[in-house]
Structures are given as structure tokens and as C-alpha cells.
Amino acid sequence: MISFTDYHLKTINHMKPKVIVLTGYGINSEEETKFVFEKSGADAEIVHINDLVDGTKKLSNYQIMAFPGGFAHGDDTGSGNAYANKMRNNIWEQVQKFLTQDKLVIGVCNGCQIIANLGLVPGFDGKYGERLIALRHNASARYECRWVNIKTDSKKCVWTRDIDTIRCPVSHGEGNFYMEKDVLKKLNRDDQVVFRYVDDNGKPAKGKFPVNPNGAVEDIAAVCDPTGRVLAIMPHPERNWNFYNEDDWGLLKEKALREGGKLPKEGQGMKMFRNGVEYFMK
């Protein structure tokens, strides 16, 4: 029912990008993150942060750096903080070099929290490393695992080309985007807000729970750096890689059966990862 080979065949003649999927200390979505990149035609490798720190592995060998979801260090001292500290203290030069090259970075959920703490976003004027965005506790002060719709109108972001909305889950305790007013203004002005939460009809959440599941300012679900190559996203597109992951697939399937429609094979989240991989194959 699900074909994994079509895409691989198509891409065989191009350069497959190599993806480093970081793990360690409680990151927990590395396997499905690797899976969606491979399904998109990339070579993906799961690498423990300590293998970067001790030099066993080098960032320079990869084209895409992925920070998966998880609970690095148990969210202790603030989600993403300890893991970001570890990178800053030990391999910051490698990270900076990676950013100056024509390469891609994605941080999903805990990965989003890590790269916000690491200052890879917003990265105004190429000044990576400055912390200007925080992911606060959800407005409900509770972990929220629920399906949301996110909509993009970003022209800049590499990851969202040809995407309008994606339905996928959020699953986090601290996903409440916060920044000072001038930072927010600049993000808006420079097309760095990538996704916002919308309702089932594509209308803005306007902060209303649970359409906006965490109280994020201006319903922000994802932001990028000024180049559009570094994406920090709270919801989990990789957890809707399969049509049968989606919360309402039962209804959609029944509809297709009656109306003779065709069911998609993939979930709505896949397109984003394909965009990342295709960036290197054109």
C-alpha cells in the first residue's frame, strides 16, 4: 500500500544530500526524523552529540543538520537550554561555519527550542548565537499533545515551498513563542515568520485555545533565519508522514470509498522534508 521506492528511483542521478540527525541526552524523535529524510531521498545518519564533541564525527560532512524532537536533558532549566549550552560550549565554531555555507538546518519541537536557545533563529544580520526568542510554558501550563493546522505564506523559507497548510500534531509543554516587540516586528517585516496556527477553515487562531495550542504570540508556530534556510518549528510534520497517521483518516478514507476519490499515500508533513532534500538536487 505504501511505496517507498518511487522517489528513490527518481533521485538516483542527483547528488543525495547527507543529513545529520542529532541525538543524545533525551532527544527521542531521531528515528522517524531519519526515516522521513530517507523517504525524501536523502542519506540520513543519526549522530550522538558526544560524537561531534569528541571529534568522531564532523558537521562539515553533512548538508542538512536536523534537530529532532524530544526531551533533551528532561527540559530541566528550560527546554533546549542544556543541549544548546553543550553545543555552544563545545562545537560552536563548527556550527557557525555550517551556517555560513549554503546548507540547511531544521529544528522540530525540542529541536526548535534548542536552536532558539542556540540563537540560530532569528539570526538577524547573520548574527547567529544571540538569544532573542524564547519558548515559554504553554498558556495552559500543561503538556499539550493535539492535532493542529499550520499555514504559511513565507516566500523566503526553503522548507515550505509550494506548501499552504499542513495538519500535524503538536506535542510539547513549552511551545509558547515569545520575543520582545521589536524582534517580533523585525521577524514580520523580513518574512521570518514561517507558520501560524489556523483553524480547520484556514482562519487565524487569534490566540484562541486549542486552535493555538500554547498561547504563542501572533499564533506563531515556526520562524526562520534571514536566509530562509534555518527553520525552527514547534509542531511535528514528521509525525504526519503517513496518511494513516492523521487523526481523521478514518473519515477521509470512508469519504474516498463512497466518492470514488483516491487516497493519498503520504501524510501532509512529507512535503516539507522533500523541499529540504530537493534544495540540493536542482
Residue 230, H or E segment: strand 230-233
Q: List active site positions.
A: 109, 236, 238, 246
Nearer to another protein, 9 or 15 (CB): 9
In the complex, the smallest distance separating the C-beta of residue 71 from another protein, rounded to whole angstroms, is 4
Single out the residue of 109, 115, 132, 131 nearest to residue 32, CA to CA.
109
- For another protein, the closer of residues 154 and 214 by Cβ is 214
Dmax (CA) for the chain in angstroms is: 58
Q: Which residues of 251-266 are buried (b: 16+ CB within 10 A; e: fewer)?
A: eeeeeeeeeeeeeeeb
Residue 223 CB, shortest distance to another protein, in Å, is: 13
The nearest distance, CB 141 to another protein, in angstroms, is: 4
- C-alpha 20/C-alpha 195 separation (Å) is 24
Q: Please, which residues bridge with residue 242 across strands?
A: 266
Q: How far is the CB of 38 from another protein (least distance, A)?
A: 10
Whole-number Å distance between alpha carbons of 90 and 93? 8
- The torsion of the CA quartet 156, 161, 164, 170, rounded to 10 degrees, works out to -80
Residue closer to another protein, measured from CB, 83 or 159: 83
Strand partners, 232: 107, 223
- The separation between CA 235 and the C-alpha centre of its own chain, rounded to angstroms, equals 7
Query: Which of these, 243, 233, 244, lies nearest to 110 by C-alpha position?
Result: 233
The least distance separating another protein from the CB of residue 250, rounded to whole angstroms, comes to 4
Nearer to another protein, 33 or 160 (CB): 33
User: In this complex, which beta carbon is closest to another protein, that of residue 17 or of residue 69?
Assistant: 69
Q: Which three cell numbers stand for residue 58?
A: 564532523
Q: Which residues pair with 193 in a beta bridge?
A: 223
